[in-house]
Structure 1
């Protein structure tokens, strides 16, 4: 028995966003005007593409992204819609898996399969959301000020951030009348488990329940607490200061910590302080590692799918709060260095032997009460630093803002590059309401020239 996943609901593409110069744009309830099913412009292969074992443990939810564009004089909304429809149809020829549909496999194991049936993506037209899914959803919204926003939601199971950026940049190229430069590599058999799977050779603690607060028997109390989201800005100077702080006590035989390792370590420490953890509290920082170039041999350019592994750095909160920033950065470095070809293969084998993957499917959903809870005393960071997700020009200029459209749970945050490519970073962070003010104080302590806007 199979069930089409298109019957499920996904979060609305709406979020209040803080822009530079304290400019606020708020996406409120909008009126759905029309929707279009956009299919590939040419016939595409109808045979199923194998979903890799690395895809299978990704959440069923969609990952929403939103772009804002300023006033577009000389362009009608109808012409913008038409441009998006035509170029999306062209892009779906080479990225045809996104025009297919997922369905549950038999056995109640939480596993899915892909049917490349060219049923198409869904493009919504709205005046200021309503989303039901295929694998790719697009929403174009017109504002009374003359600007527009473009919201995208793509299935976590289908692609990771690098593959998403490849698709968006290709779509934008087609809209501008430019040719495709890098073909997507669609063969996901590169990440199938070994036959038979080899028993775990490493400690893959992402399959284990996350740490609980000391004194707690489960996470229900923490899960139920009210949360809020805030946006934080770090100038290039502040980023460099954090990087210096991380490296000041670094041993001479250790390679310099990157700005990501410094900023992520800083976020981890500040969260522990804001939550007033006990010194012996075990806390984990969960994050994703792109392993395309860590495999033997490295993956082909344009690999289209999930080639990321969710891992965790672990420490006692007391050590994070009392030792220099470099300690937190070193824990992150240790976790990253575990990700080798052997480690990835072992993790994929472990996915294969899981009797039920359901617990991985919904924990990203805002307000979810199912699956493991990765909030207090833990955090999860998604880094878009280095992803080519900026300057998306469909022929009417570059966006004035691009960022995540949801921040799902307590302790979840995104780090992405500033829009001007000036070395600055923006961080979207969700925390419990009771902890947010303290977090802001710790976050900017000893760093001047700060700014923060609450969502």
Structure 2
């Protein structure tokens, strides 16, 4: 079967105005080994009702990218390792970001109303996959694909070492506002702030006794890694509306100690997905499992980070327990573990993470791990390139990492996307939809 997406143009877009020529150092948090991959976003829009033809819209988006690369000029640079290998840096010489225009003779808007049939079904909507940004690839790739029914898909790849989810969402909204004409360059808010020196390690000033379970290895008692590498993964997609989330909160509270405070939607939903996932995989009762999730530290450190800081400003929260306890002790137990993992993150904790990743190159393991990433509160649902708000926001490829996504026109709803080994997918779908089972 031939490709369903055909590239019309691929061109390097350079900044609209001259930008500083310099080498910028990335922080120890940016330089972590596990962040050297590309965050890949997919936005899908209804056919334009503006009366503009595709050529005009393409030109506007390409022109807006050139303008956005003025304040965000590191995205037009190239990432490399520092000579001593201690961290990464960005060589800023206005080398450019990659812009692709493509057409699809198969995809339509309805394609994105459910989970993809297989993990890589939407891969061609961002045709360039950057496996290693350190080999000179552009850290930013944008692809505009015109779909068969006149709708449009915008795929965006941003290398994670340059920014986190909050930072990338701020960039995407600024880029989109320039494309839609809602704001000019001088009016963009927040103004992007580099300031990576704020995470320079302060050595020998503290005796850190903070434990970091996210970096500790646990025994693989069941061929966990082999299962995820050898068995085909099946994408899943489930929407939780406000009523469903409140039901989860009630259920978690009913299985918690009275001393525990109220739970957030993220805490109960992550716990519910974690338990459903663990039960569906039929793992041995003594296997240790972890759920890892990012904790935004912009306002958890003192002093807080400046508005517009778009670098990686998160640490990994880690809840850990045995399969037996996770399944038998109920939703409240799992939710409490996640809540406590969030609550322990403060200034001292962050400093100890910076030390750990900067000196020992500490990195999380994958055995027994479910990673949950919250995209539903980043503002991605507002990214409007002049085509209206996106009907669908999600990843290019559905993966074993669990994403919590915004739902079009349902502000309080969350879509959960995760790929599960085929042997457990039916049980997972049943359990995640039936929290009282």
**TM-score band (shorter)?**
0.7 to 0.9
2: CA distance, partners of 1:373 / 1:285? 10
Aligned positions, number: 402
1: CA distance, partners of 2:31 / 2:177? 31
- Are the equivalent residues in 1 in contact too, given 2:169–2:379 (CA < 8 A)? yes
Query: Per-residue CA shift, 1:183-238, capped at 9, x if unaligned?
Result: 011111001112458665311233333x344255x833543222111111112211
* 1:202 has 2:210 as partner: yes
More displaced 10-residue stretch of structure 1: 435-444 or 126-135: 126-135
Counterpart of 2:286 in structure 1 is 280
Counterpart of 1:3 in structure 2 is none
1: CA distance, partners of 2:95 / 2:201? 29
Counterpart of 1:424 in structure 2 is 413
Distance 1:420 1:215, change over 3 A: closer
- Secondary structure of the 1:49 match is strand
2: CA distance, partners of 1:334 / 1:413? 20
Counterpart of 1:255 in structure 2 is 261
Give the alignment partner of residue 313 of structure 1, picking from 319, 341, 348: 319
For 1:405-444, list aligned pairs within 5 A: 405-409=396-400, 412-444=401-433
2: CA distance, partners of 1:373 / 1:253? 33
- Secondary structure of the 2:371 match is strand
Query: Per-residue CA shift, 1:104-143, capped at 9, x if unaligned?
Result: 2335x48421111111111101112431540110000012
Higher helix share: 2
Counterpart of 1:186 in structure 2 is 194
2: CA distance, partners of 1:199 / 1:52? 22
Distance 1:205 1:79, change over 3 A: same
Structure 1, unmatched stretches of 5+, are: 1-26, 361-371, 449-455
Counterpart of 1:138 in structure 2 is 142
2: CA distance, partners of 1:71 / 1:284? 42
2: CA distance, partners of 1:399 / 1:287? 25
- Are the equivalent residues in 1 in contact too, given 2:406–2:415 (CA < 8 A)? yes
- Are the equivalent residues in 1 in contact too, given 2:28–2:87 (CA < 8 A)? no
- Secondary structure of the 1:423 match is strand
* 1:386 has 2:380 as partner: no
Residue 327 of structure 1: how far off its partner (Å): 0.4
- Are the equivalent residues in 2 in contact too, given 1:47–1:115 (CA < 8 A)? yes
Distance 1:144 1:29, change over 3 A: closer
- Secondary structure of the 2:202 match is coil
* 1:214 has 2:221 as partner: yes
- Secondary structure of the 1:246 match is helix
- Secondary structure of the 2:40 match is strand
More displaced 10-residue stretch of structure 1: 332-341 or 197-206: 197-206
Counterpart of 2:118 in structure 1 is none
Residue 251 of structure 1: how far off its partner (Å): 3.8
- Are the equivalent residues in 1 in contact too, given 2:43–2:392 (CA < 8 A)? yes
Query: Per-residue CA shift, 1:230-276, capped at 9, x if unaligned?
Result: 11111221111111111224444432011111000101111111112
Counterpart of 1:37 in structure 2 is 12
Counterpart of 1:123 in structure 2 is 99
2: CA distance, partners of 1:315 / 1:149? 40
- Secondary structure of the 1:68 match is strand
Give the alignment partner of residue 81 of structure 1, picking from 20, 41, 58: 58
Give runs of ≥4 in structure 1 deviating > 6 Å. none
Give the alignment partner of residue 366 of structure 2, picking from 365, 369, 373: 373
Counterpart of 1:19 in structure 2 is none
More displaced 10-residue stretch of structure 1: 233-242 or 110-119: 110-119
Distance 1:296 1:325, change over 3 A: same
Distance 1:30 1:405, change over 3 A: same
2: CA distance, partners of 1:390 / 1:222? 31
2: CA distance, partners of 1:349 / 1:123? 38
Query: Per-residue CA shift, 1:409-434, capped at 9, x if unaligned?
Result: 3xx21012221134111011111110
- Are the equivalent residues in 2 in contact too, given 1:64–1:152 (CA < 8 A)? yes
Distance 1:333 1:143, change over 3 A: same
- Are the equivalent residues in 1 in contact too, given 2:284–2:323 (CA < 8 A)? yes
- Are the equivalent residues in 1 in contact too, given 2:235–2:399 (CA < 8 A)? no
- Are the equivalent residues in 2 in contact too, given 1:384–1:416 (CA < 8 A)? yes
- Are the equivalent residues in 2 in contact too, given 1:120–1:134 (CA < 8 A)? yes
* 1:103 has 2:107 as partner: no
Structure 2, unmatched stretches of 5+, are: 105-123, 131-136
Counterpart of 2:115 in structure 1 is none
- Are the equivalent residues in 2 in contact too, given 1:53–1:192 (CA < 8 A)? yes
2: CA distance, partners of 1:237 / 1:276? 29
